[in-house]
Amino acid sequence: MTDTETQIESPEEFRLRARAWLADNMPPRPEGRSYERNFERCRELQAMLHEGGFAGVCFPREYGGLGLTPEHQRALDLETLSYEMPLALNVPTFGIIGATLLEFCTHEQKLRFLPPMLRGEHVWVQFLSEPTSGSDLASLTTRATLDGDAFVINGSKIWSSGAHAADYGVLVARSNWDVPKHDGITVLIMKIDQPGVTVEQIVDTGGGTEFCQEFFDDVRVPLDHVIGKVDAGWTVVRGLLAHERNSMGDASIYVSGLHNAPTERARSDIMELALASGKADDPEVRQLVGEDYALRFAQDEAARRVGAGMATGHFPPTAGAMLRLMGARSGVRRADMALEIAGSAAVAWHDGDPAAPVGVRFVGRQSIEIGGGTTEMQRNLISERLLMMPREPAADRGVPFNEVRHNAAPTREKS
Ligand SMILES: Cc1cc2nc3c(=O)[nH]c(=O)nc-3n(C[C@H](O)[C@H](O)[C@H](O)COP(=O)(O)OP(=O)(O)OC[C@H]3O[C@@H](n4cnc5c(N)ncnc54)[C@H](O)[C@@H]3O)c2cc1C
């Protein structure tokens, strides 16, 4: 396919071409797994998509993408539903970090970092949260000290999803302690496999090991790895967090493939559970199935409407907070509904029991109200930035960070 042919291809033509290519090249979606976090497999799948000319639909052509529209991406998404896709690369690699690099990096940085990302060669991670700085991210204490042509990084990050499998991290660090907290932050691209970086996996309540904590001991990051301007990184962070809300609210144009079929096309796992556990005739269970359908439908429509509003500038970037809030609240409600339907089978089950995953899902449900900024912080954003209600008081506003009481930078316990 030549450049000119691709440029004039309509979403419908693109869809038909994708349909034929997927049937010939991509493996079928594995049964019962809608969300596969095997990063090595994802690298292979992404390389296949790239080779076939279906990677980075909305990324510009000069940086390795296809330069097409969200309608083309949507067409591809629907065609990929029955195929194995590298879904774990969507967040944060493409939807958050790819989008942030596009928005804030120089042309040279984009040329260097985006094409390998789209070829599936580099997995990325976000180094934002610290043991003592989460919701109040600007209070972070990881230190970036200028030394010649590099920053030297010391400190620790935590809850970094997938850091053990990642090649690069977007790191937020404090480069100036003599100014108010938002004014002394620099955002850097950090190569993970280098001296001074230690990545430790954390075991979560469900037994998962995807969360990591990292320790940085005199890690050198060259100046040409700064995203945006030195000390002005808070602008980049705000952009990144907006991309994160979009990604988690299903409104990012940079993610590819769908975890679940859109509501109008598929039965949900709630309905499947009702059927599989023989309770589909129970009037109370039927109420729950109806509630689930209404929730999913409203969520799909809100994502489309708010996503389009942000893309056309009718809504500010903070509007993604509404989708993020809605996604988290409905995710929690749906985990509760599954528990109600499964009953005691969610607590003790035998192999092959349709209720087997329900209890584990319930135990982990709170994480969707925390990751990407907590539900409370989304409510704050909506009230302060969308409804223009008064901002909550902050004792440290306008005060140099080194005069504000803050936690000490965490260090690694050495055995
Ligand atoms: C699934 C998942 C994935 C994650 N992935 C990453 C990642 O890849 N990289 C990364 O850097 N981090 C990641 N995180 C960490 C996440 O960003 C933080 O956990 C989150 O920002 C909250 O920070 P905290 O845990 O320090 O809680 P805290 O900020 O200590 O908050 C504790 C509680 O206080 C509430 N609270 C705090 N401030 C206010 C306020 N002003 N108004 C009202 N309530 C408030 C919070 O809502 C929360 O309920 C992930 C977390 C999860 C659960």
pLDDT tens, residue by residue, 143-200:
999 999 999 999 999 999 999 999 999 999 999 999 999 999 999 999 999 999 999 9
**Whether 214 and 304 share a structural domain:** no
Residue 34 confidence (pLDDT): 47
46: which 2 tokens? 């992404």
CA separation for the pair 40, 87 (Å, rounded): 12
Instruction: Flag the least confident range among 123-132, 140-149, 174-183, 251-260.
Output: 251-260
Question: For 90, phi and psi rounded to 5 degrees?
Answer: -65, -45
Where residue 199 falls (left for φ over 0; alpha for ψ -120 to 50; beta otherwise) is beta
- pLDDT bin (cut points 50, 70, 90) of residue 36 is low
> Does the Cβ of 371 fall within 6 Å of ligand 1?
yes
Residues 6+ apart with CB under 8 A from 408: 141
Look up the CATH number of the domain holding residue 164.
Answer: 2.40.110.10
Does ligand 1 have an atom closer than 6 angstroms to the CB of 213? no
CB atoms within 10 A of CB 252: 26
Query: Are the C-beta atoms of 32 and 40 separated by less than 8 Å?
Result: no
364 ligand 1 Cβ < 6 A = no
For ligand 1, the distance from its centroid to the CA atom of residue 135, given in whole angstroms, is 5
- Out of 374, 380, 392, 397, give the residue to mutate to test ligand 1, the one with the largest number of ligand atoms within 8 Å of its CB: 374
In the DSSP assignment, the letter for residue 275 is H
Same domain, 293 and 217: no
Please report the pLDDT score of residue 414 as a whole number.
Answer: 56
User: 99 and 151: one domain?
Assistant: no
pLDDT tier at 412, thresholds 50, 70, 90: confident
Residue nearest ligand 1's atom 3 by CA: 371
Domains: count for the chain: 3
Residues 112 and 160 in one domain: no
pLDDT mean over 230-249:
94
Write out the residue range of the structural domain in which residue 107 sits: 3-122
Predicted confidence band at 263 (pLDDT cuts at 50, 70, 90)? confident
Residue 173: inside a domain, yes or no? Answer: yes
The answer to whether the CB of 175 falls within 8 A of the CB of 186 is yes
- Write down which residue in 81, 98, 122 finishes a domain: 122
Within this chain, do residues 230 and 172 fall inside the same structural domain, yes or no? yes
Question: What does pTM read for this prediction?
Answer: 0.92
Instruction: Specify if 403 maps to a domain.
Output: no
Question: Which residue owns the Cα nearest ligand 1 atom 27?
Answer: 134
Task: Take residue 340 and report the two structure tokens written for it.
Answer: 């109600």
Q: Whose CA is nearest to atom 52 of ligand 1?
A: 371
Does residue 8 register a pLDDT over 50? yes
Whether 260 is in a domain gets the answer no
Ligand 1 atom with minimal separation from the 125 CA = 8
Cis check: omega of the bond before 60, within 30 degrees of 0: no
Q: How far is the CA of 374 from the centre of ligand 1 (A)?
A: 5
Cβ of 373 less than 6 Å from ligand 1: yes
Q: What is the β-pairing status of strands 168-174 and 124-127?
A: parallel
Residue 76 lies in a domain: yes
Each residue's pLDDT tens digit, 309-351:
988 999 998 999 999 999 999 999 999 999 999 999 888 888 8
Instruction: Report pLDDT digits (tens) over 274-298.
Output: 999 999 999 999 999 999 999 999 9
Single-letter residue type at 38: N
Q: What is the mean pLDDT of residues 22-47?
A: 86
Do 158 and 116 share a structural domain?
no
